Amino acid sequence: MLLPILSILALVALDQLTKYLATCYLAPVGSAPFLPGIMELRYVLNDGMAFSMLSGARWLLIAVTTVAMAIMLFYLLHERKKLSRLEAFSLVLIIGGGIGNLIDRVRFGYVVDFFATTFVDFAIFNVADCFVTVGVVLLMASILFQEFCKNKKSAALGEKKPCGEDEVSPQPQNCPQEKSDG
């Protein structure tokens, strides 16, 4: 139980440190080159969520994020023995990133963003956003992989699919034939 909590705290600390550094060193100059042709550092205050959606809805964003993080943290801590390592790691990333941005919203009413892609017009983002995005992608990959393995195992064991799930036959096997009244 201690490792997930410490990991989340480390991610939050890293996120807060990068935002502090961006505020101290990037805010006075506005922007600075980072990876030429790919990304620059650009100081932006975002009072919305991704792509500045729900701009100005501070308390709604705080409430929704707080509830979502509490549910995920509860699930992570109470169901961790049922979770794969990838699922647990994914939740740690999502929770750490969510809490990192939540701290900014509560303290300041906005989130400090500073990574700006230059090769494509995209939202400016921060380290917490990276944690959440990577966590969600890994969680989806884990779920899809588990479903793939479960379906492959079922097929190898010759298990029949439930009524309506047969891909070969136009009329699902093991289902009663429809009677016509005409």
Going by DSSP bridges, is the β-strand pair 31-35/39-46 parallel, antiparallel, or unpaired? antiparallel
Residue 121 annotated among the catalytic residues of the structure: no
Residue ranges with strand state E in the chain: 31-35, 39-46, 111-117
> Which residue in 15, 47, 121, 129 is the catalytic one?
129
Tallying the residues shown for the chain, one arrives at: 182
How far apart are alpha carbons 117 and 177 in whole angstroms?
57
Those residues whose C-beta lies under 8 Å from the C-beta of residue 131, and which sit 6 or more positions away, are 11, 15, 93, 94, 96, 97, 100
Residue 104 annotated among the catalytic residues of the structure: no
> Which residue in 47, 104, 113, 181 is the catalytic one?
113
Return the number of other C-beta atoms located less than 10 Å from residue 62's C-beta.
14
Catalytic residue numbers, as ranges: 113, 129
